[in-house]
Amino acid sequence: MAAFVGLTSAASATTISLHSAGSYGALVGSGPQIVEDFEGFGALGEGEVGSNFSTDVGTFNTLGGTGSGGTVTGLSGNTGTELALRDGNTFRRVNTTPGGRWYLDSNDTWGMSWEVSTGSMFSRIVFTLADGSDAGGWLAIISEGIRVEQRTNGRLGDGNIATVVVDFGRAVSSALITIGNYSGSGSQGFVRNDGFSVDDISVNIAPVPLPAGLPLLLAGLGGLVALGRRRKANAA
């Protein structure tokens, strides 16, 4: 899958790009990260996670719409009104963590709203997106006014996997990311029953910025130390 980068507006340095599944490792990089692969939620078992599903990388909730596809009817007690924690292959939505099992599924709703918050400043997010835009919906990732659609023409293949990068271009303390199924390119209308899943979320922690006046303060202190040494030398 070729990279597709969202346009940057004057009000936002944010870019969103989609890449092949195989590029995930290189895109994540080696800096400090907070990772959520949903493996720690396995004890909950398969099923809906309710409103405000809290994780190490923030809170997830459905965008609305009641799913009624095979994904919903295939799980006992599933109402199709919330996101769901899944295990194994669910209509080609799959775990993408090597050796893992669990992932977060849209559960055939309109999509998910993700309030990113880690307790630390961050600048970039990488995650995998599975099985999107294969049943009629135009899946789009939206953040800070930037919108990138996964498909540019016809439906994508069943079970496709993409690596998504959201780069804020600066350190932020929180962000809102919408991953939704729309009725057409540029449309604001949602559709349901074109499910997808997210997994392997990596949030890149940003270095703590130095106060703007710190370099000048340090330079001033260095000057005072040097002056003191010269005076001491002259007195000797």
Per-residue pLDDT of 49-97, as tens digits, reads 998 999 999 999 999 999 999 889 888 899 999 999 999 889 999 999 9
Report residue 70 as tokens: 């095979």
Structure tokens at 65: 């719409």
Residues 104-162 have pLDDT tens digits of 999 999 999 999 999 999 999 999 999 999 999 999 999 999 999 999 999 999 999 99
Q: Which of 157, 46, 25 is closest to 96 using CA atoms?
A: 25
As to burial, measured by CB atoms within 10 angstroms (0-12 exposed, 13-18 middle, 19+ buried), residue 43 is exposed
pLDDT for position 17: 98
CA proximity to 93, closest of 200, 199, 196: 196
Residues of the chain above pLDDT 90, percent: 75
3-state SS assignment for residue 224 = helix
pLDDT of residue 26: 94
* Residues 107, 159: Cα–Cα separation, whole Å: 15
pLDDT in the model for residue 63: 98
Higher-confidence residue of 30 and 221: namely: 30
Percent of the chain at pLDDT above 70? Answer: 83
pLDDT-based confidence at 226, cuts 50/70/90? low
Please check the confidence at residue 175 and state whether its pLDDT lies above 50. yes
Q: pLDDT category, 5, cuts 50, 70, 90?
A: very low
Query: Residue range 201-211: average pLDDT?
Result: 80
**Cα–Cα separations (whole angstroms), residue 202 to 71, 73, 183:** 26, 31, 29
More confident residue, 4 or 50: 50
Which of 77-86, 99-108, 177-186, 204-213 comes out lowest in average pLDDT?
204-213
Q: What is the mean pLDDT of residues 190-201?
A: 97
**Binning pLDDT at 50, 70 and 90, where does residue 236 land?**
low
pLDDT of residue 48: 97
Residues 18, 20: Cα–Cα separation, whole Å: 7
CB 16 within 8 A of CB 6: yes
